[in-house]
Chains A and B, each alone.
Chain A
Amino acid sequence: DAKTTQPTSMDCAEGRAANLPCNHSTISGNEYVYWYRQIHSQGPQYIIHGLKNNETNEMASLIITEDRKSSTLILPHATLRDTAVYYCIAYASNFGNEKLTFGTGTRLTIIP
């Protein structure tokens, strides 16, 4: 899996959009960008994934640059329950390598 780089921590005011960046400059053509988050003392929660097109679901939006070397996860209206560690992972899920490799992630704190 390609290595990803994320800021160690970020703060965001409650109600504002939280934009979490991720660099994956060595991503391969068959690797998707996956985002998970982990709330304290819980298992990781799947958020969203994409290959090259922008994606949106009920939780978040994922913006992937045209060269696929970076992406941004957007939580449109952050709430206190969004405080968690967010992991960006480049992952080739359909080519025999099914291991998710977690980096250190971004610790997002939502401030009241």
Chain B
Amino acid sequence: GAVVSQHPSWVICKSGTSVKIECRSLDFQATTMFWYRQFPKQSLMLMATSNEGSKATYEQGVEKDKFLINHASLTLSTLTVTSAHPEDSSFYICSARDPSLSGEQYFGPGTRLTVT
């Protein structure tokens, strides 16, 4: 199957700082990428849909000014958590849809963010 990578795999930052997470599709071009957040012992929650060359679509309750998404190329989307707080500590996962296939999404390995 298609491969999606994320960087970094884990990050620790201080409260008030910003953190950027990268999501790359390695062997296909993805016009659409998705960002999820997962808290311990909970399921994945979709945060936003990232479309190449246009603004991201955020789910209800997700602050677009806090979680900045940029999808500047067909293989790269970035999520920036601005002014991070301890409650932003979570597992952030991206996925990408290969338009050449029937619709399955491929997920990155996730990024563990800890805000101290």
Q: Interface residues, chain A, CB within 8 Å of chain B?
A: 32, 34, 36, 38, 41-46, 49, 87, 91, 93-94, 98-105
Contacts and interface: CB of A to CB of B under 8 A. Distances in A.
Interface string B4-48: 101000000000000000000000000010101000000111100
Nearest to A100: B105
A99 to B, nearest CB: 6
Interface of A is mostly: loop
A43 B97 contact: no
Contacts of A42: 109-110
Contacts, number: 58
A104 B43 contact: yes
Contacts of B45: 102
Secondary structure call for the B interface? strand
A102 B107 CA distance: 13
Given A41-B110, A46-B105, A99-B49, 4 more contacts: A43-B93, A94-B103, A102-B44, A102-B45
Contact of A44 (B32, B46, B103, B107): B107
A94 B104 CA distance: 10
Nearest to A38: B44
A46 B106 contact: yes
B54 interface: no
B85 interface: no
Given A98-B49, A102-B43, A103-B43, A44 B93 contact: yes
Given A98-B32, A100-B46, A45 B107 contact: yes
B102 to A, nearest CB: 7
15 contacts: A38-B44, A41-B91, A42-B109, A43-B4, A44-B95, A46-B107, A49-B104, A93-B103, A94-B103, A98-B49, A99-B49, A100-B105, A102-B45, A104-B43, A105-B43
